[in-house]
Structures are given as structure tokens and as C-alpha cells.
Amino acid sequence: MGTGLTATRHSRIDDVAGTEELFAGAPLYESPGWLRYCERLSGGRMTYLVARDEHGSPVGLTATRIVRPGQVMALYDLGTLFDDWKPAALYPNVVSAVSGSHWVDRVLPGIDPAPVRAVLGKELAEVAAELGCPAAAALYVDEMDSARQLSAAMGGSPPFIFAAQTLLTGQWSSFDDYVASLKRSRRNKVRRELRECRENGIRISVHSGTKALGEDTARLQVALREKYAVGGSVESVLADYENLRATVEDRLLVFRAERDGRLLGMSIALLDGDRLHLRLVGFDYSQELDFLYFTVLFYAPIEWGSRNGMTSYAFGTSSYPAKLARGCLPAPLYAVVRWPDADRAACEERARAHEKALSAELGIGDGEGNS
């Protein structure tokens, strides 16, 4: 498997034939349904890189897209690493990552993944060169060995910690079991937040699929975006609901927090085997119900999960201190970047500074295992 591999490119996952075995057992963010969702989300800007054996059969796959300023969320924009100074030529660039802060790494079971990643990493760099992109990157790589393999293939800089997934793991049979796993001071705070929720007449309901999503939930999501100066409209959120309905309807859970029939908070989660991914939230900020944030984002999903066989919860790549305080552990995610040649040294220095600051915030060692 070390020789004879080639690569092909495709704009739609449904155009890649013979992938049944390749996608067998794929996690949510590497499933065909999720990739179809990402295609809709990107407006057709995705390209799949497929590694093939000497018979032309697919043995590996990753997903990429072109990034231009203002076209992607900050989570997938290399420019967010820089403050006052930015490389003279950074855009457009090619990024290998999909929505959910995930790097797609499908490799046929039973074969050595290293040569497959080497072919795909080389193809990623070639795509960028052919399109005239000064930079190429694989973001949210979950293992350092994989990141090093990609770096060698891409001619990239050393991998660095780019973000971290906040994971909560536990086979609790009830929400009380989760609370008991926390430090005493945190247990008291959680109980106080839940008590405030009850005393304020908040009712939490859980719904499967997109039927509980509509203009009321969209308005709350837009309110959150406005609070953090992120663009969006009710119409764009409703379009996203339609994309979810058309691709991953059977994976969706919606948590609604209401008082006297008025929606005050909501969250959207995605089922992935025995893991629950918490994805989107929204709130009515005119009510100033501080306790509601973690009730909707954390406590209601954990309570539901403890009754429905969930053993892990993924809470995303932001707001680290609050999530770690509630029992999450950080799982480092790496970036491999082929920076613009003219600014490579300065970009590598900025990447190291980012990793150092993030490692300190997370309380972990850097990418080389140093504290």
C-alpha cells in the first residue's frame, strides 16, 4: 500500500463511487449525510480528495474548501491567528476541515493510513498551488502522528495546537450521578443554577429532528450572533434548518427552555453513536437569565443522555474555562499549515505563540509534550 496510490478530486460526495466500505462505521462528522450538509453550507465550494489504489478503488478521503475573507466562520479562517500584522498574501487559501471543527480522515479499515495521508497531504498542497493559493492547511487534526505525516507530505511547517475539543465522559445512570462526579464547590453551583431555573418557572422539553425549529428558535440564534458581533439573519438560520432537515434529520435533538409558553433558550445537539455533540445555542437576552446558558447547553443534554445511553458529550472548541470547570477534559486539535513562503518564519512564530497561550489556558503541555 506504500506505492501505486493516486488521488482524484470531486465536488460532491455522491459523485465518489464505491465508498460503502470506506464509510462503514464512520463517525457523524465523516458520514456522507454530514458531508452533504457541509456541501450545502459551503454553497458548493467543497472539494473531496480521494486516494485510490492501483485498481482505482477508494482507500482514503478528506474534504477541502477554498477560503476567502468573509466567506467562512472564524473557526476555519487562518487569519484569526493574527492581530495587527497579517501575512501580505494569505488569501485565498485551501483548508481541509468541515463544520464541527473536524478534519476528515477516512481510511479503509485494515490498511496502513500513513501512505494514504501522504498522498492526500501532497494532493492538498497541489490543489493550493494550481489554484494560486499562497497557503494550505489541515485544521483540527486529532493526533500528532497524523499531523506530522501531513506536514511532511504538504511541505508544511511543524504542527501546532490550534484548538481543543471539550469532552465530557461518563456512564451516568442519572443526572445526579454527573453532579456527584464534580468538585464540591462546583456541585453546589450546579444545584443553585438548577434551583434558579425551577424557581423561575423554566420548563425544558426535548424534541427529535427539526420539527421544533422555526422562527422563534432562529430569532434566539440571531440574538446570540449579534451579541458576539457575528453576522446572520433569521432567513439564513431558517435555511440552515432546511439543510439539516435534508441531510441529518435523524441525528438531531432540540432542547427548548420555555416559561409560560415563551421561548427563552434553545440548543441543538447531534447524535453520534453514544456521543452527543452540542452544536448551536440561542437565548432571549432581554430576560437576563444567567443560569439558563448552562442549563440549556450542559445540564439538559446530560440529563437526557444519562437516560438514553450516552457515554460522552462534545461541547466544542470555545469557552474553555467554564466547560472545564463542569467536568470536561480538553482534547488537543492540531493545525498543519503550508504558510506563504515570504512570511513563513513570522507565521511559524505566531503559531508557536498561539499554541503556548492556548496550552496555558487549557492546562496542558504543548504539541511536543512540554509543560
Distance between CA atoms of residues 305 and 313, nearest Å: 9
Q: Is residue 320 part of a domain?
A: no
One domain for residues 136 and 180: no
Closest C-alpha to 191, from 106, 310, 295, 38: 295
Q: Which pLDDT does position 345 carry in this prediction?
A: 95
Query: What is the per-residue pLDDT for 370?
Result: 52
pTM metric for this prediction: 0.94
92 and 189 both lie in a single domain: no
Is 154 a member of any domain?
A: yes
Q: Does residue 3 register a pLDDT over 80?
A: no
In whole angstroms, give the CA distance from residue 239 to residue 31.
21
Q: Supply φ then ψ for residue 172, to 5 degrees.
A: -85, 140
Distance CA 208, CA 206 (A): 7
301 located within any domain: yes
Residue 334, strand partner residues: 141, 161
**Rounded distance between C-alpha atoms, residue 285 and residue 136, angstroms:** 39
User: Could you read off the pLDDT of 269-296 as tens digits, one per residue?
Assistant: 999 999 999 999 999 999 878 789 999 9
Taking each helix axis from N to C terminus, what angle separates 113-130 and 144-154, rounded to the nearest 10 degrees? 50
CATH number at residue 263: 3.40.630.30
Same domain? 141 vs 177: no
| Confidence check: pLDDT of 23 > 50 | yes
Whether residues 290 and 342 share a domain: the answer is no
Please report the pLDDT score of residue 231 as a whole number: 77
Strands (E), 28-151: 46-52, 58-67, 93-96, 106-107, 135-141
Cβ(265)–Cβ(282) below 8 Å: yes
199 and 298 housed in the same domain:
yes
Closest residue by Cα to residue 98 from 333, 364, 355: 333
Q: With 80 as the cut, is the pLDDT of residue 174 above it?
A: yes
Residue at 80 is within a domain:
yes
Pair 216, 194 in one domain: yes
Give the CA distances from residue 276 to residues 139, 204, 251, 313, 365, in Å, rounded to whole numbers and listed in that order. 22, 18, 10, 5, 27
Q: Within 10 Å of residue 288's Cβ, how many Cβ atoms?
A: 8
Strands (E), 170-274: 203-208, 252-259, 262-272
Phi, psi dihedrals of residue 217, rounded to the nearest 5°:
-70, -35
Residue 327 within any structural domain of the chain: no
Looking at residue 229, what is its pLDDT?
72
Q: What is the pLDDT of residues 60-99, one digit of tens each?
A: 999 999 998 877 788 899 999 998 787 888 999 999 999 9
- Cβ neighbours, 10 Å, residue 14: 12
pLDDT tens-digit map of 193-249: 999 998 999 999 999 999 999 999 999 999 998 888 787 899 999 999 999 999 999
Binned at pLDDT 50, 70 and 90, residue 368 comes out as low
Q: Do the domain assignments include residue 112?
A: yes
Exposure b/e, 96-108, CB count within 10 A at least 16 = b: bbbbbbbbbbbbb
Residues 11 and 121 in one domain: yes
Contacting residues for 98 by C-beta, under 8 A, at least 6 apart: 29, 34, 35, 38, 63, 104
**143 and 179 both lie in a single domain:** no
Whether the CB-CB separation of 349 and 337 falls below 8 Å is answered with: no
Q: CA of 46: how far to CAs of 50, 179, 354, in Å?
A: 13, 42, 27
How many domains are there within the chain? 2
Contact 153, 115 (CB under 8 A): no
How far, in Å, CA of 61 to CA of 52, rounded?
9
Domain holding 214, by residue range, is 171-310
Q: Are residues 17 and 156 in the same domain?
A: yes
In a domain, 1, yes or no: no
Which residue's entry shows cell 486529532? 142
The verdict on 276 and 132 lying in the same domain is no
Does residue 118 fall inside a structural domain?
yes
Same domain, 185 and 45: no
191 with 231, same domain: the answer is yes
Q: Are 78 and 71 in contact (CB under 8 A)?
A: no
Looking at every residue in the chain, the average pLDDT score rounds to 94
